[in-house]
Amino acid sequence: MMSDIFQDAWSTLYHGDCIEVSAKIFGSNVFDTIITDPPYELNYMERGWDRSGISFQPETWAEMLRVAKPGASLAAFGGSRTFHRIACAIEDGGWLIRDCIMWYYSMGFPKSQDISKAIDKAAGAERKVVGTRDRGAPALSLRMNMEDLERRLAAGETKTADGRDLKAAIKYAKEHQVIEITEPATDEAKLWQGWGTALKPAFEPIILAMKPFDGTFAQNAEKWGVAGLAIDEASFQKPGDRKRLPSNVLLDDGAAKIADEESTVRHSSGVMVKPSLFFYSPKASKKEKLGPWNRHPTIKPLGLMQYLCRLTKTPTGGLVLDPFVGSGTTLVAARLEGRKSIGVEKDPEWFPVARRRLIQSQLR
């Protein structure tokens, strides 16, 4: 079940399945907070860990409920297409949905199918290539991933760390680095030129839930040492502005820059609001990722995870659990916020990366 464990004064990291580890090792009513970025079940980049169905299973979140203290907070990321399934599984697992934080970012990875190209392909018509364009940041990520895959192939390996065919994974990375610019070949394709199937993603929801109380808020706070959110702790203040209370809208630095340039942002209600009303954090830097050591495709900014650790802390800090550690951002963020944490990571590719990041964070 578990092949490795890392532990220091602040963090414990288990290598194994989160349900199995939790059932075997963790008692009931242990954790004050659960902060996690679970699989979105989108089969992202054909990664095996993103198509297991574990996030959609109420049993997963029921086990997390068992190990959480009454009144404990749960913050779970989700994808715009599938977060409702995760939210329903969390609710069916016994949690109370309290809110949904919207994290807006500027660098999304478009996954839209070109309908004009699809029509020509179905007709067996060959399109004339008139140029190419780079996918930008996603292409860089794919290039880095492809370099790693090619090193594995040169070493005689045939499978990726998550069990995919190595040659097929390299082919996928090469095909998705650049986009060919082509002309429609058939009249029907010309009619549908410019039509696609999806929008560019620019936000991710963070499902905010709570384990049912033992009595009232006050009684739960006195008995279990956890209740509500650390509103004052998570408040923020921009230069020249007054102190702002935390809201359920967060921005990355790119989205904040766009908002600042335009001076105002139009809220869904139609009201014009200033970007200074919202908390934002810089995107994940190469330094905090560990440079080439960390090629995780869905890493979250450290500043964002630190904010969630502040928002959900108890007066004494409180113990954090992340059942889907990935490359370890939650555990590093908890350490930086003075909170102890425990995490579980199943994938053999990411466990050593998370362990290395935790070791590096000790040196700060």
Range in 85-94, 108-117, 182-191 with the lowest mean pLDDT: 108-117
**CATH number assigned to the domain comprising residue 43:** 3.40.50.150
152 CB burial (10 A radius; 0-12, 13-18, 19+): middle
On whether residue 123 sits in a domain, the answer given is no
Place of tokens 């090619």: 150
What is the domain extent for residue 77?
A: 4-108+201-361
pTM: 0.79
Of the ranges 124-133, 267-276, 341-350, which is most confident?
Answer: 341-350
Mean pLDDT of the chain: 84
Given a contact cutoff of 8 angstroms between Cβ atoms, the answer to whether 31 and 69 are in contact is yes
Tell whether 292 and 161 lie within a shared domain: no
How many beta carbons lie within 10 A of that of residue 168, not counting itself? 12
Give dist(CA 201, CA 255) in Å, integer.
12
Give dist(CA 361, CA 274) in Å, integer.
35
Tell whether 207 and 341 lie within a shared domain: yes
The predicted pLDDT at position 45 comes to 58
Tell whether 83 and 134 lie within a shared domain: no
The predicted pLDDT at position 17 comes to 95
pLDDT at 143 > cutoff 50:
no
Tell whether 234 and 333 lie within a shared domain: yes
- Scanning the chain, the segments in alpha helix (DSSP H) are 18-25, 58-67, 83-92, 115-123, 137-154, 166-175, 187-191, 217-224, 231-234, 253-261, 286-289, 302-311, 329-336, 351-361
On whether residue 116 sits in a domain, the answer given is no
Give dist(CA 101, CA 191) in Å, integer.
40
Of the ranges 30-39, 234-243, 348-357, which is most confident?
Answer: 30-39
Render pLDDT for 253-276 as a digit per residue (tens, 0 to 9). 677 666 665 544 454 445 444 556
pLDDT at 42 > cutoff 70:
yes
Assigned token pair, 147: 């370099």
Assigned token pair, 347: 């994938």
Tell whether 12 and 74 lie within a shared domain: yes
Cα Rg, the chain, nearest whole Å: 22
The predicted pLDDT at position 244 comes to 86
